[in-house]
Structure 1
Amino acid sequence: MAPVTYDQEITCSIPPKKMFKAFVLDADNIIPKVLPQAIKKVDILEGDGGVGTVKLVTFGGGSQYKSVKHRVDAVDEANCAYSYSIIEGDVLEDGDLEKISYDVKIEPTADGGSVCKTKSTYHPKGIKEIAEEKIKEGKERAHSLFKAIEGYLHANPHAYN
């Protein structure tokens, strides 16, 4: 089966550079603080945080999943763009998915905030169809995470300046 792609846009009142620093560059530290029930911890298994880095993300008790490994595919700090792929873990449905790739770009909005544009691509193995429910769950998790970081930045206005 061919890869399945969906796009998502989430707006917030935080400027792009600040949101990129929190949501991408410091995600390993900030996400377990703002959503400990979702993500317990992130460990770097190989690399220095840049392209090619492999991370082990351990989910919290509020998640139906245990862990995933994700690989950093691209980091463009100047343009607030980031790409990564989930390459291992129970999110990949016991081998039904080869990987899930994400391309993230945080752009400015006219009101001084930002919009996070995400393209998610599910790469199935064989002919198995991707469940619409799985895609909906992914969108909801991304939205919750982005909004939790926005809330954290409002509560801590001097962070990531």
Structure 2
Amino acid sequence: MDGKLASCAIYENRPRICWVYRCDKAKAMLSAAQRCAEVLDDILIQGWKPDGTNYVISGLHQSANNDYSTSTDFGTFRNPLKAVTGDLTLLWADNVNEVNFNLVLHPTQYAELIKSVSTGVIEYDEVMKLLALIPDMLKGQVIMSNDLTDSTGILSPVDPRDCTSRR
């Protein structure tokens, strides 16, 4: 039996010791759950390459059929809006219609987007409107991920069955 658990029966201050024990175990569990989520995010976004070189499972980024490239700086006002619109145009041309979208960005581009304001217009809000063009459907989100390289992003349809997206 674990020494900390056994101490619950020995010391006078049992409730506190039991509480500390539970908190320690909860921290370890949450840390493990977070690490699992990070690995799953990496597999979903990039894919799985067990040898470190060759993908056995392609992620969203590796299997994307479209690539909207722009040389414009994401930190310049209106450029994020132009990039999202350009990518949406490619998806609509492939008949990815009647859905809202999620936008996954590297932390650098995410930070540039959330600070982008000009003459009272908050660009983040404008991008959010583009991600949720279809009313009465789950709205898209802007998500930050370290699994993307700097200057890259992924635009993907919102799963209509996803309970985590906000209406």
TM-score category (smaller protein)? under 0.3
Higher-strand-fraction structure: 1
Give the TM-score, by structure 1 length: 0.27
Q: Greater CA radius of gyration, 1 or 2?
A: 2
Greater relative CO, 1 or 2 (CA 8 Å, sep 6+): 1
Higher-helix-fraction structure: 2
